Amino acid sequence: MKRSTLVRIAVQSILKNKMRTLLTMLGIVIGVAAVIVMVAVGQGAQSRIEEQINNLGTNLVVVTPGSSQAGGVSQGAGTFNRLTVEDAEKLEREGTLFAAVSPVIVSRAQVIGGQGNWRTMINGVSTEYFSIRDWQAADGSLFSEADLRGMRKVVLLGHTVAASLFPDGDAVGQQVQIRSVPFKVAGVLSAKGQTASGSDQDDVVVVPYTTARSRLSGFARVQMILASTYSPADIAAAQEEVRSLIRESHRLGDDDDDDFTVRNQSDLAEAASGTTRVMSWLLAAIASISLLVGGIGIMNIMLVSVTERTREIGIRMAIGARGADVLTQFLVESVVISVLGGLIGLALGFGGAALLGHITGWSTETPPQAVLIAVGFSAAVGVFFGFYPARQAASLDPIQALRYE
């Protein structure tokens, strides 16, 4: 029997019982749609995290204190601080792969001014911090090298702080007070949004690190050193150069462990998106269970169809149809139901992902491989669960089938 004839007969058989066919493919439709929505949400979240990581800076290398050993046990990053401004200056002076280097002195304080007060993070940085973070002033201007050398009391407000203290938008040129020290607002930074961990990057106040060290914190240690390389290809070599220069600065011997930690954007992105990736595929795997349920439904209906059409099968075999022809006919019916359900589920999945993104504001993104896997899996379900009923039909005895009432 020709393939075109088999497909035509299969489609005619499916259309005879439209409601039953619709209910049969419902499990496949729901399964494929659920897989698409789950993968789209997970992939969108992962892309959003990568975007937020890239938003931290350009070709970023981050040096933090820590990894010191106490009694043979690693204390982890941030537990023992030996980083100094001199370390940052050494990297800038002797490093060959760095486009910019900035120390970061961090503290929290109450900022008073405008129409109230706001407790926020105070970052003491150099002028190169803004090129590393790719951060511009939305209003006013950034502070200069002269401000840095002169330890001038100038301040840049993050978008969140500026909106809280100066809701009318006239922050530039105003005066704010940080720990009883008056500062002049030189500018308002452009909005950066949230980090991958959910913290607000705009809830910050930025001052020259020389001013922060002399006027605010009084600490000689820095909480972080940020550096950027000339190109992404230089990041790995730059990390090794950081280790070499800071170990030399801290006079660490060959047998001494690092008392600092060096990370890059890839490390940060992998750590932040790893859990999201696992969870998205776990949810997709759970959603795919409904595909198996749909496959069982297809098997059930096809077995019923074989029973109902036993006499028809006997007539076809009596006039010359082979067992392979009968098997192929029922297998084609099963695959058509599965693929058609997969395509409908695919459309509903795309629509559901778009609707969910519109309602919740989440980012959704469906990778092409997820589409191929979902539709391919639905076709495989049709073949797998349709084979047994088709084999049952093909193995019928024509004489017994003709006698079936």
Taking only the tens of pLDDT, the chain with its 405 residues reads: 566 666 677 677 777 777 777 877 787 888 788 878 877 877 777 666 666 655 555 588 889 887 644 444 444 444 567 888 899 999 999 989 999 999 999 888 899 987 888 999 999 999 999 988 888 999 999 999 999 999 999 999 999 999 999 988 788 999 999 988 999 999 999 988 776 566 788 999 999 999 988 888 665 568 899 998 888 888 889 999 999 999 998 888 888 888 888 887 665 556 555 666 676 667 667 766 777 777 777 777 777 777 766 777 677 777 766 767 777 777 777 778 888 888 888 888 888 888 887 787 777 777 777 777 777 777 777 777 777 777 777 776 666 655 555
Range of the domain at 178: 83-249
Residues 243 and 277 in one domain: no
The whole-number pLDDT of residue 189 equals 93
CA quadruple 71, 72, 77, 83: dihedral sign: positive
Of 123, 96, 50, nearest in space to 227 by CA = 96
Pair 42, 155 in one domain? no
Paired strand residues for 194: 200
Would you say residue 370 lies in a domain?
yes
As a whole number of Å, the CA-based R_g of the chain is 33
Q: Has residue 64 been placed in a domain?
A: no
Q: Is residue 256 part of a domain?
A: no
Q: Indicate whether 9 and 93 sit together in one domain.
A: no
Burial class (CB in 10 A: 0-12, 13-18, 19+), 197: exposed
Quick one: which of 202, 58, 50 has its CA closest to 138? 202
Q: Which residue has the tokens 């069982």?
A: 296
Query: 389 and 302 share a domain?
Result: yes
Cα 33 from Cα 223, distance rounded (Å) = 47
Asked which of 219, 249, 279 is the last residue of a domain, the reply is: 249
Q: Is residue 68 part of a domain?
A: no
Location of structure tokens 């010191």: 68
Same domain, 187 and 328: no
| C-alpha span between 329 and 349 (Å, rounded) | 30
Of the residues 249, 281, 309, the one at which a domain ends: 249
Same domain, 174 and 27: no
> What tokens does 247 get?
């170990």
Q: What is the DSSP letter of 135?
A: -
DSSP helix/strand/coil, 192: coil
Specify the pTM: 0.58
**Cα–Cα distance, 142 to 248 (Å, whole number):** 33
Best CA proximity match to 209, nearest among 144, 99, 123, 135: 123
Please tell me whether residues 279 and 352 are part of one structural domain.
yes
Rounded to 10°, the helix 323-360/265-308 angle is 140
The count of domains in the chain is 2
∠ at Cα 50 (284, 232), nearest 5°?
Answer: 135
Query: Contact at 8 Å (CB) between 98 and 229?
Result: yes
Give the Cα-Cα-Cα angle 163, 135, 126 (nearest 5 degrees): 105
Whether residue 129 contacts residue 259, with contact meaning beta carbons closer than 8 Å, is answered with no
Tell me if 307 is assigned to some domain: yes
Task: Indicate whether 219 and 313 sit together in one domain.
Answer: no
399 and 353 together in one domain: yes
112, 164: one domain: yes
Would you state the pLDDT for residue 165? 92
User: CA–CA separation, 352 vs 373, rounded Å?
Assistant: 18
pLDDT of residue 68: 44
Considering the domain architecture, whether residues 284 and 378 belong to the same structural domain is answered as yes
- Does 219 lie in the same domain as 167? yes
Rounded to 10 degrees, what is the CA torsion of 189, 194, 198, 201? -10
From CA 38, how far away is CA 168, in angstroms rounded? 42
Give the per-residue pLDDT at 226: 92
Distance, CA of 149 to chain centre:
41
pLDDT of residue 187: 93
Q: Is residue 264 part of a domain?
A: no
Q: Does residue 296 belong to any structural domain of this protein? A: yes
Which two structure tokens, joined as six digits, stand for 305? 């169809």
d(CA 196, CA 193): 10
Asked if residues 220 and 87 have their Cβ atoms less than 8 Å apart, the reply is no
**For residue 383, is it within any domain?**
yes
Which two three-digit tokens encode residue 221?
A: 């240690």
